[in-house]
Every structure is written in structure tokens, then in C-alpha cells.
């Protein structure tokens, strides 16, 4: 069984059939059981069902450990992102294959004892990425592979920061991709990120509005769900 971690604007993507409260060493996590195309699925809204948890206060460790405890086969996460490149316009769907971490005050690891260095050569699971690309292709969508830049939030980035991220090789920027992907790797849970480009980043347009971000995410919700549902069909055969 696979799990979806839903980001901004996706809390209502799946009908909730049953709530499961999972105890972890970092607190309790509500995970919701649902179905898609006849297959069992777990849904975890990253910001809560009421979208009241900001990016820098999400308990990423608890969320990942809750899904690990439920023995999921893998995780597909959704992330709202800003584009650093004109060739990746708002409304695009992209898939992360690498990241640059510019978060500052978040937990760094699941490991509390000893010295553990986790390999990050392939932070995102290739098999899930290919399933997402296959599903998107079946819908007539090409999923571009991108480097995700993670920032701390909750503020948006400055034009100077965006210019730096672009020079370093970043393609999109968001506030929730790290450390979520890191903890998934440490927990040995296959993980991939399907990103929705909601806007051009600071300095590439006049202003950035969170309300506009949420609006575009909600508009893209149906196609995002179709891509993820198709990917799960590919993965589960």
C-alpha cells in the first residue's frame, strides 16, 4: 500500500474513509485511509486538514515515521513550488530528482545515537519517478525532471536569493521538500515528489501571493490526483 503526502491545496483530494492515529517518538500523527481506483491508499495532509501548520512547523520526522510504522511500500508527495526558470511556467507539473538544502532551523536526522551518514546519491526513488512519468505520459503530460531548492519559510525568497539559487543549478523552489525527503531516505521508505509550479519566483514577476498559490494548486488538483493514481496503478501492477 502506498501513501500520499498532500501539500498546499490538496487536503481535499481524497475522500477520507477512516482516521488512524499513529504514535511515534515525536508525537501523534493522523493518517487517513482511503481508496483510489479500487486500491487501498493512505493520505497524510502535510499542513493538516485545515491547512493550519506552516512549513517550518511541520513535524517531518513524525510524519515519515508514522508512514514507516504503517509499513507503506512508498510515498508520493506533492509540493507547491515557484519556478526559477522561464521555460518552467506556472501550471507545469515537474518531478524532483535532486535538491539543494537552504533550510536553517529544522531537525537534520532521524538518528539520535551514533554516527550515521546516509547516502544521498539518489534521494528520490527512481522507480516511483518512472511510474509518475509513465502515468503523466498516458495523460499527454511530459514531466520535466528538476532540482528542488528548499528554503526555511514561512516568508518567500528575495530576488537576490532566487538569482543565487538559479546560478547554483536550482530549477524550482519550495519550503516543504526538505527534510521530508531526507527522513524518508533514512527510514528506507521509497519517496518521490510531484511538484506543481504555482508561480515564477521573486524578481521574475511583480509579487507573490499565497492566495494565488493555493488557488492554482486547487485548480490543478484533479490532474495531480490522476497522475498519482495512475502511478500507483503502475507500481502495484
Rounded CA gap, 17 and 166, in Å? 42
Calculate helix-pair angle for 126-138, 210-236, nearest 10 degrees. Answer: 100
Give 48-79 pLDDT, tens digit per residue.
888 889 999 999 999 999 999 999 999 999 99
Rounded CA gap, 150 and 195, in Å? 12
CA 123 to chain centre: 13
Cβ atoms 32, 40 nearer than 8 A: no
Give 84-116 pLDDT, tens digit per residue.
999 999 999 999 999 999 999 999 999 988 899
3 state SS for 12-35: CCCCCCEEEEEEECCEEEEEEEEE
pLDDT computed for residue 52 by the predictor: 85
pLDDT computed for residue 227 by the predictor: 97
Domain boundaries along the sequence of the chain: 2-236
pLDDT computed for residue 215 by the predictor: 79
User: Which residue, chain included where needed, has cell 531548492?
Assistant: 149
The structure's pTM equals: 0.94
Output the CA–CA distances (angstroms, integers) from residue 123 to 90, 95, 128, 192, 202, in the order listed: 25, 12, 12, 8, 27
Residues with Cβ < 8 Å from 210, sequence gap 6 or more? none
pLDDT computed for residue 216 by the predictor: 78
Ranges of residues in the chain with a pLDDT under 70 are 208
Q: What would you report as the CA-atom Rg of the chain, rounded to the nearest whole angstrom?
A: 17
pLDDT computed for residue 7 by the predictor: 81
The CATH superfamily assigned to 2-236 is: Nucleoside phosphorylase domain (3.40.50.1580)
Amino acid at each position: 500500500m502506498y501513501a500520499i503526502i498532500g501539500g498546499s491545496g490538496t487536503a481535499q483530494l481524497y475522500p477520507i474513509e477512516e482516521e488512524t492515529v499513529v504514535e511515534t517518538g515525536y508525537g501523534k500523527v493522523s493518517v487517513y485511509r482511503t481508496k483510489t481506483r479500487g486500491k487501498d491508499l493512505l493520505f497524510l495532509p502535510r499542513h493538516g486538514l485545515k491547512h493550519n501548520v506552516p512549513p517550518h512547523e511541520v513535524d517531518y520526522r513524525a510524519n515519515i515515521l508514522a508512514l514507516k510504522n504503517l509499513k507503506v511500500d512508498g510515498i508520493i508527495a506533492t509540493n507547491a513550488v515557484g519556478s526559477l526558470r522561464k521555460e518552467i511556467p506556472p501550471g507545469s507539473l515537474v518531478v524532483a530528482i535532486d535538491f539543494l538544502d537552504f533550510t536553517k532551523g529544522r531537525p537534520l536526522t532521524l538518528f539520535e545515537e551514533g554516527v550515521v551518514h546516509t547516502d544521498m546519491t539518489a534521494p528520490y526513488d527512481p522507480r516511483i519517478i518512472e511510474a509518475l512519468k509513465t502515468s503523466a505520459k498516458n495523460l499527454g503530460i511530459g514531466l520535466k525532471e528538476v532540482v528542488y531548492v528548499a528554503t526555511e519559510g514561512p516568508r518567500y525568497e528575495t530576488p537576490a536569493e532566487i538569482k543565487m539559487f538559479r546560478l547554483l543549478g536550482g530549477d524550482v523552489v519550495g519550503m516543504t521538500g526538505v527534510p521530508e525527503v531526507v527522513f524518508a531516505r533514512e527510514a528506507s521508505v521509497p519517496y518521490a515528489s510531484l511538484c506543481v509550479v504555482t508561480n515564477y519566483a521573486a524578481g521574475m514577476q511583480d509579487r507573490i501571493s499565497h492566495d494565488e498559490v493555493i488557488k492554482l494548486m486547487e485548480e490543478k488538483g484533479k490532474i495531480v490526483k490522476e497522475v498519482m493514481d495512475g502511478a500507483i496503478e503502475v507500481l502495484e501492477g
